[in-house]
Amino acid sequence: LTKETYPSTARNQAFARLSSDDIGEFKKILSDKNVLTDATDLEFFNEDWMRKYRGESKCVLKPQTTQQVSQILKYCNEKKIAVVPQGGNTGLVGGSVPVFDEVVLSLANMNKIRSFDNVSGIFKLDAGVILEIADQYLAEQGYIFPLDLGAKGSCHVGGNVACNAGGLRLLRYGSLHGSVLGLEVVLADGTIVDSMHSLRKDNTGYDTKQLFIGSEGTLGVITGVSILCPARPRFTNIAFLGLESYEAVQHCFTQAKNELGEILSAFEFMDEDSQDLARKFIKQTHPLEETYPFYVLIETSGSNKEHDDAKLETFLETSMENGIVSDGTVAQDEAQLKTLWYWREGVSEASTIGGGVYKYDVSIPLKDLYGLVEAARERLEEANLIGETDDFPVLRVLGYGHVGDGNLHLNVAVRRYTKEVEKCLEPFVYEWISEHHGSISAEHGLGFQKKNYIGYTKTENEIKLIKQLKNLYDPNGILNPYKYV
Ligand code: FAD
Ligand code: MLT
Ligand code: ZN
């Protein structure tokens, strides 16, 4: 989107414009090399992953210690300089990039593992550690990070906590609200709040860390994370299945829960449109010979190979016999396991193949979940916005996601971002979700994209509380302004 197609927002003139004195102060706090002001160096930090939102920041700060973060924020708060905390910049709601000239505070240089207790599984690390690196470290100790997602190679654990990412294994390990045991956070005025606990249970009053989980950089900057990690399952199986209807997907889920029980670790679904784009992007032979309206990826993780294999086999036999599943394949080795996962994880990137994508990450009660994809497709067709040639802005409407968590990803893959498409989809999509008792954000957050739509899910009094908390923690509003608060 260019500034013209952004929702109307004006720069808040209460925020100071950055001066050369400010840059000088930043260089005193950090070393020169960690204060970026060169236009080419700034490009990555100003543009989001979807190439949809672009800011105009003139300065990126890369602190290496919590003390430095504290000094920067204290200075910015006093001078009323707006700040955008940024992790790996893989967020999908335009929350991680500036809207105007806010300073970007990148956590990329805060990337140390602090400690790991291999009896309790409690892991403490800097916020800027890349998720995949954290998980590789744990793998060597026989443990696993309780979160996994397609952006693992670039996103930070601090960024994951800041947006309360859900991902591919929430079904098994639950939300970060449960697994995060403590945080180290720097408030807008520079105060360091250290709650890096190693305790599974702690009932001493308000659980203040919970406020920062999912706060998307609006309440404080997360600098450290303490998280409970489970033992790494020793055996994993993947089945990739073809199904004839969304009805069958739901039956398959019930049956998977019943028959695979405690070893079920992921239940993901994809429609044919999403796999068709994935075929164009991945350019390899699809795991299934025939095409199906729906596909399901099931992962099992357990500790006894024979036991796990037998359970999966029985599940597959029964679901084929009773007609729920029409076709399927099971990974035979580690390489096939990764390949099958890629046909699901790769859909995110495949969705951008035409040039852009409108992403709607939503929760809807399971029975109605796919109805939103059908409704959006129909609406775009009626408006004559979707077609096979360049005359049409919309290339494809896809539905996929973490169906086991009631989480749909409706993606509208486009050749260009246009106001016409946006107007056709918004607020229609949000109204549809509200009418079907869903949430306008399941796991990506609200960021800039959904700033005007929070009322479709939260009540007036909830929004009032959010604003009161924001005023309490960040009275000058310097942290991630123009976003959802
Ligand atoms: P950023 O994008 O840099 O920031 C995200 C938000 O958090 C911003 O508002 C930012 O201001 C704030 N923030 C970042 N770091 C901090 C910090 N240290 N302190 C305070 N605030 C901070 N999400 C899911 O939930 N599930 C998925 O399955 C999933 N799959 C994805 C697949 C792909 C290919 C991509 C590109 C994204 C996916 N996402 C998914 C989106 C997801 O939100 C991010 O990948 C990830 O959680 C964001 O981490 P990040 O470090 O990149 O944060
Ligand atoms: C995923 O689950 O793949 C991401 O959260 C979805 C996305 O890219 O929209
Ligand atoms: Zn997702």
Q: Which ligand is nearest to the CA of 410?
A: 2
Q: How many CB atoms lie within 10 A of CB 446?
A: 24
| 212 CA from centroid of ligand 2 (Å) | 22
The finding on whether 151 has its CB within 6 A of some atom of ligand 1 is yes
Using the mean position of ligand 2's atoms as its centre, give its distance from the Cα of residue 401 in Å.
Answer: 7
How far is 246 from 372, CA to CA, in rounded Å? 12
Substitution candidate for ligand 1 out of 49, 68, 163 with most atoms within 8 A of CB: 163
- Top mutation candidate among 51, 86, 223, 347 for ligand 1, by most atoms within 8 Å of CB: 86
CA of 205 to the centre of ligand 3 (A): 33
Strand partners, 414: 356, 394
User: Which ligand is closest to the CA of 157, given by its number?
Assistant: 1
**For 284-338, how does the pLDDT look when each residue is reduced to its tens digit (9 = 90+)?**
999 999 999 999 999 999 999 999 999 999 999 999 999 999 999 999 999 999 9
Q: Which ligand minimizes its atom distance to the CA of 102?
A: 1
Among 390, 353, 354, 396, smallest CA distance to 373 is for: 396
Residue 274 Cα to ligand 1 middle (Å): 22
- ipTM comes to 0.99
List, for the chain, all residue ranges whose pLDDT scores fall below the cut of 70. 1-8
CA-131 nearest atom, ligand 1: 51
Domains, the chain, with CATH or none: 3-106 (3.30.43.10), 113-228 (3.30.465.10), 235-344 (3.30.70.2190), 351-444 (3.30.70.2740)
Pick the residue whose CA is nearest to atom 2 on ligand 2.
Answer: 401
Q: Pick the atom of ligand 2 nearest to 347's CA.
A: 3
Is ligand 1 within 6 A of the CB of residue 86? yes
Check residue 4 and give its pLDDT: 46
The answer to whether the pTM exceeds 0.80 is yes
Q: Whose CA is nearest to atom 4 of ligand 2?
A: 348
409 Cβ inside 6 Å of ligand 2: yes
Q: Is the CB of 95 inside a 6 Å radius of any atom of ligand 1?
A: yes
Q: Whose CA is nearest to atom 14 of ligand 1?
A: 159
Ligand 2 atom 5 nearest Cα: 167
Q: Which ligand is nearest to the CA of 351?
A: 2
Closest ligand (CA of 86): 1
Look at ligand 1, atom 53, and give the residue with the nearest C-alpha.
159
Q: Is 214 exposed, middle or buried (0-12, 13-18, 19+ CB in 10 A)?
A: buried
- Residue 409 CA, ligand 2 centroid: distance in Å: 6
94 Cα–ligand 1 center, Å: 10
Q: What is the pLDDT of residue 7?
A: 57
Cβ(152) to ligand 2 under 6 A? no
d(CA 311, CA 308): 5
Using a CB cutoff of 8 Å and minimum separation of 24, what contacts does 370-374 make?
Answer: 370/246, 370/249, 370/271, 370/399, 370/408, 371/436, 372/399, 372/408, 372/410, 372/429, 372/432, 372/433, 372/436, 373/271, 373/397, 373/398, 373/399, 373/408, 373/410
